[in-house]
């Protein structure tokens, strides 16, 4: 038997190599041995020293789960309401199912390395997600057109999705460090460039005029929604989550405290908006107030004509009184862009147009500052000084006047 070195009383020959143990306190409060194994004494000695140092720092886990089992625990016990929003829970779940578990799930949590994560990222970049997720195979046989019939569509995931998947993994591993299952978070060692967001150029004032005039001329049920998007800079979820009791027509104010989201196939209205500053009572310029009056008349007409009507309280509803689905709203917004013959932009980009439109409508800078939720009047005035094109401004004012009777 080989002679043990000084201080290595717990390292000894075992089977075809060596074994060692260190007495540790577990996160559950138990006193037990943590074992290490290896082919050589030097290998085991290194592991023994590492365990010994960890034991001095605090509790040490003696059994470590796989990435898959830990992510399952994390999603069930940690990522849950009310600490996380329903949309966040749903989104994290998708990243875990599609991008993490299939590629990293079998690895032991404490064996995960930065090299493993780099290989994972590179694998994601060259993996067709249509094939990996079986999307084409789930279609009816006569509708299959790519992976299921041997013709890969090369539906690779975006760099943005990979970046977000890494953020989800980093969050999960950070929780494992807090719960003392890991001594460090290897996901922080993986360096990735943050994808540059697509920059969508906002509309000009002439675009706004043509878009709103087209919707008004067609008596579009979403005309008032478009006005609120452009004049108040509301987010899509905030807009579609508005209820009539939150609109004070006498004071010409609207309370923005809720948003509507699609969570697991169900539309849900939640009180918490994107930020605390988003929860505000905003003034309604004349154009908005009159557009909402028209919307009330449209809804009364829809209710009278409907064979079935769901009394939901929402300002913007379908022909049966149900809330408008955010995806449906985006499609109708795009269709209106086409009909108005204006450049298509993302719904969220309308927020960038808000400040210049308020200036064109002669809204007082202090009121605009409140609508835009700026902390300093200078930010508002910087937007106001960018307004130009007297012809377009006059056209916008005429549009507002034709609606309000001015």
Residue ranges covered by each domain of the chain? 11-57, 67-189, 205-404
In tens, the pLDDT along 16-71 reads 899 988 888 877 678 888 888 888 988 889 888 888 887 888 777 667 789 999 99
Same topology between domain 67-189 and domain 205-404 = no
Determine the 3-state secondary structure of 281 from DSSP: strand
| In contact, 39 and 77? CB cutoff 8 Å | no
- Of the listed ranges 112-121, 135-144, 151-160, 307-316, the least confidently predicted one is 135-144
In tens, the pLDDT along 267-283 reads 888 765 444 555 578 88
| In contact, 350 and 234? CB cutoff 8 Å | no
Q: Residues in the chain, how many?
A: 406
In tens, the pLDDT along 156-204 reads 999 999 999 999 999 999 999 888 788 789 999 998 888 887 777 888 8
Give me the pLDDT at residue 389, please.
55
Question: Whole-angstrom Cα distance, residue 396 to residue 210?
Answer: 9
Question: Is the alpha carbon torsion for 249, 251, 254, 255 positive or negative?
Answer: negative
Contacts of 187 (CB under 8 A, 6+ apart): 117, 166, 169, 170, 173
Question: Whole-angstrom Cα distance, residue 55 to residue 65?
Answer: 19
Whether omega for the bond prior to residue 82 falls within 30 degrees of 0, making it cis, is yes
Give me the pLDDT at residue 283, please.
82
| 267 strand-pairing partners | 262
DSSP 111: G
Task: Name the CATH superfamily housing domain 205-404.
Answer: Intergrase catalytic core (1.10.443.10)
Question: Whole-angstrom Cα distance, residue 201 to residue 209?
Answer: 17
> Hey, what CATH topology would domain 67-189 get?
DNA polymerase; domain 1 (1.10.150)
Percent of the chain with pLDDT over 90: 39
Whether the model pTM is above 0.85: no
Average pLDDT of span 384-394: 55
Residue 348 in this model has a pLDDT that exceeds 70? yes
Closest alpha carbon to 23 in 70, 76, 59: 59
Question: Whole-angstrom Cα distance, residue 229 to residue 287?
Answer: 12
Residue owning tokens 């990979």: 162
């Amino acid at each position: 038997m080989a002679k043990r070195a000084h201080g290595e009383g717990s390292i000894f020959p075992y089977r075809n190599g060596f074994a060692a143990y260190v007495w540790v306190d577990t996160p559950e409060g138990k006193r037990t041995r943590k074992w290490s194994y290896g082919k050589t004494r030097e290998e085991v000695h290194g592991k023994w020293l590492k365990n010994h140092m960890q034991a001095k720092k605090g509790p040490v886990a003696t059994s470590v789960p796989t990435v898959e089992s830990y992510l399952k625990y994390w999603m069930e016990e940690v990522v849950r309401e009310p600490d996380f929003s329903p949309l966040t829970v749903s989104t994290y779940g998708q990243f875990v199912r599609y991008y993490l578990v299939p590629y990293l799930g079998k690895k032991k949590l404490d064996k995960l390395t930065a090299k493993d994560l780099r290989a994972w990222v590179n694998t994601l970049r060259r993996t067709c997600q249509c094939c990996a997720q079986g999307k084409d195979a789930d279609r009816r046989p006569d509708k299959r057109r790519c992976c299921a019939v041997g013709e890969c569509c090369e539906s690779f995931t975006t760099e943005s999705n990979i970046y977000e998947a890494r953020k989800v993994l980093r969050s999960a591993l950070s929780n494992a460090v807090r719960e003392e299952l890991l001594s460090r978070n290897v996901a922080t060692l993986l360096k990735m460039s943050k994808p540059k967001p697509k920059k969508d150029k906002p509309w000009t004032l002439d675009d706004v005029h043509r878009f709103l005039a087209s919707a008004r001329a067609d008596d579009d049920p979403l005309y008032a929604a478009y006005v609120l998007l452009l004049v108040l800079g509301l987010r899509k979820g905030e807009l579609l989550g508005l209820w009539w009791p939150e609109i004070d027509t006498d004071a010409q104010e609207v309370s923005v405290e809720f948003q509507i989201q699609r969570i697991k196939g169900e539309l849900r209205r939640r009180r918490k908006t994107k930020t605390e500053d988003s929860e505000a009572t905003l003034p309604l310029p004349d154009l908005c107030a009159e557009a909402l009056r028209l919307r009330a008349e449209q809804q009364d007409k829809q209710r009278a004509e409907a064979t079935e009507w769901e009394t939901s309280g929402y300002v913007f509803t379908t022909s049966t009184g149900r809330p408008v689905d955010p995806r449906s709203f985006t499609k109708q917004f795009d269709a209106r862009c086409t009909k108005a013959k204006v450049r298509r932009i993302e719904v969220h980009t309308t927020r960038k147009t808000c400040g210049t439109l308020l200036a064109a409508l002669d809204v007082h800078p202090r009121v605009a500052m409140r609508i835009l939720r700026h902390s300093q009047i200078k930010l508002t005035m910087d937007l106001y000084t960018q307004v130009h094109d007297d012809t377009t401004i006059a056209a916008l004012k005429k549009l507002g006047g034709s609606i309000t009777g001015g």
